[in-house]
Structure 1
């Protein structure tokens, strides 16, 4: 069985972070191990508290997993600060990890800052050079580049090209915040641009969308898909999970990670 390791924060509301990653991997038929970097007290409306995990414990988790389980793909999410990023980079190098999907979690859906300024700089210079795939949304891409975004395809292409210079093999700038009837993501592989397109779903159930997409990319790569197939699979999976989301909570609700397993010609069972 293919195996993904997710290194991310815990979401007590169950919609994002480690919880979203594990559900995504399970739904796609891939085993998921996990390393928790931070605890968050959150629901569909807000994050009320964040507690980074001590680095000794993060290292212990990483070593415990890598010393026993052969991991096919690693996916990172919330890393919180510079020290944690440096530790993760150290262990990824020590265990010669070749397949890494980086979801650059900088702020939450509700607007809470989840990565320090020092951490952001460290992410750029130390983690991105190891990435196979980088999956920022427009706002995250702008923060990584240190500039204000323009919400159009032209800027997304320029951003993807510039982000690729930090070292990731593939950059996906997600366009979920664009206006229009289509949700368009820009993919750059260092040579050519590709567009991932789906119809826009007008819903408030979008909590954990970025985590879900990146985890689906990791799971698909673990199953042996080439990157274009993996990205399209992740796009379709995430779109379906949004389209069939359940009404949970009173804010931005979570996705339905098992929707593609439940759908038939009549919709969700």
Structure 2
């Protein structure tokens, strides 16, 4: 069972996409060839694929959760430009194999990277990426990382209801102690460029709750669903600042792009 079973509708509605300027910046790492091929690993409901669709003409997006893929199919298929091929595949990153002869000009791995066998997936990608292609790994920070007052209040409610140890489906989340740039530097894509893209997002309480239901640690199944005790606890115990309509969140998307040595 996927760690995100039951979350796809929340994921599509409440998970933010990537900034438009990030999509354009990522696209320049792919060689200007035709067809121009994108592989989006751990696509979820297709937010990254959707943002990059204008820049590529042959896109494969994979995810191990069939509900996520079905949601991505419904959302993305009507938006595919003429002349563009989109293939949505239910597969883990570790098991994915592209069609014979197909090689990506750019691989994107957004928030899924910490769930993967990272070194193993990067090694597999060596045979799936074109000679001049690149692999981009990027993410922003989750609500579990509390760097302002209202996010700290959200984290406290999560801790009160779910405990201090962060869940992940039926287990617990294990942090990686090895920095991603070092993992990439020890992979075939060892020439690593790092940059950040600032982004401001505005949240409200409904959006925060929907986002939490899209996560592996507060998905509906362990916390009782959108009408269960978690929502009741949030409504009863939220401090005043979480009842505000607009909660700004300044953050940054950290991007690492790896290429092979010349």
Scaled to the shorter chain, the TM-score interval is 0.3 to 0.5
Q: Using structure 2 for the length normalisation, give the TM-score.
A: 0.36
Relative contact order: is structure 1 or structure 2 higher (C-alpha 8 Å, sep ≥ 6)?
Answer: 2
